């Protein structure tokens, strides 16, 4: 396989990219100024050194020489009594954009699908246990399980509750779930019965 085909093969492994678009990416690079190409090459080579996983919440952040915790975990003003467990880094961005939450996070790194019996390697169950153990001395009161509203997300919630059962026994630490209801822009006509039920129960 020549260099062009190898490059295209790499791009074909990018998420959501098929053969035709991978080829376009390669042609795009062939047209770039040499300096851009050089910069991109160096960024690719160094990204795993410069962007590291936060030792607390596990999300990726750009290393800045100040430590191994991300800006949120390192912020003394965040509310240590709340820990929101999410599936992916991008969930944290969405929550932060809403400006509504001041607690801390933990990125589980995946879901526990309904028919799965053992944890995927990427799932950070042990890491979560450690963090909860550590935080229960420091005032942790609430684990907010913020998974997707589908069967796998719900199963992941149950899995996390059972995973932490011993850690929270004999503590006042509670588990909560994000509220269900009608989301912005949604029409009653297309809402499923479960969503309508929640919207009705949560009316105010």
Subset of residues 113 to 152 that bind its own copies, contact rule: CB under 8 A: 144, 146, 148-150
> How many angstroms separate the CA atoms of 90 and 153, rounded?
15
Within 19-91, strands assigned E span 51-53, 60-62, 79-86
Nearer to its own copies, 37 or 80 (CB): 37
Where does this chain touch its own copies (CB under 8 A) — which range of 34-42, 111-119, 129-137, 165-173? 34-42
Interface pick for its own copies out of 78, 129, 136, 180 (rule CB under 8 A): 180
Closer CB to its own copies, residue 168 or residue 199?
199
Nearer to its own copies by Cβ, of 125 and 175: the residue is: 175
Q: Does 71 bind its own copies (CB under 8 A)?
A: no
Nearer to its own copies by Cβ, of 49 and 137: the residue is 49
CB-count exposure of residue 192 (10 Å: 0-12, 13-18, 19+)? exposed
Q: What angle do CA 20, 21, 22 make, to 5 degrees?
A: 90
168 in contact with its own copies (CB under 8 A)? no
Question: Which SS3 state, helix, strand or coil, does residue 71 take?
Answer: coil
Which CB atom, from 68 or from 176, has the smaller least distance to its own copies?
176
8 A C-beta contact, residue 26 and residue 7: yes
Is the separation of the CB atoms in 56 and 131 below 8 Å?
A: yes
91 binds its own copies (CB under 8 A): yes
Does residue number 45 form part of the binding site for its own copies (CB under 8 A)?
yes
Q: Is 66 in the site for its own copies (CB under 8 A)?
A: no
> 3-class DSSP state for residue 152?
helix
């Amino acid at each position: 396989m020549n260099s062009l085909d190898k490059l295209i093969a790499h791009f074909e492994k990018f998420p959501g990219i098929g053969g035709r678009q991978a080829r376009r990416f390669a042609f795009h690079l062939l047209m770039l100024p040499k300096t851009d190409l050089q910069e991109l090459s160096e960024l690719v080579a160094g990204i795993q050194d410069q962007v590291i996983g936060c030792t607390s919440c596990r999300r990726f952040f750009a290393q800045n020489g100040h430590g191994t915790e991300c800006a949120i975990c390192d912020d003394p003003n965040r509310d240590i009594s709340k820990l929101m467990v999410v599936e992916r880094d991008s969930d944290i961005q969405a929550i932060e954009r809403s400006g509504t939450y001041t607690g801390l996070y933990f990125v589980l790194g995946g879901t526990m699908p309904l028919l799965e019996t053992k944890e995927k390697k990427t799932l950070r169950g042990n890491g979560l246990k450690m963090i909860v153990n550590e935080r229960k001395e420091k005032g942790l009161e609430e684990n907010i399980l913020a998974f997707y509203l589908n069967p796998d997300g719900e199963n992941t919630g149950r899995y996390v509750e059972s995973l932490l059962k011993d850690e929270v026994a004999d503590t006042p630490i509670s588990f909560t779930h994000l509220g269900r209801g009608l989301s912005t822009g949604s029409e009653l006509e297309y809402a499923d019965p479960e969503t309508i039920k929640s919207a009705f129960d949560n009316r105010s």
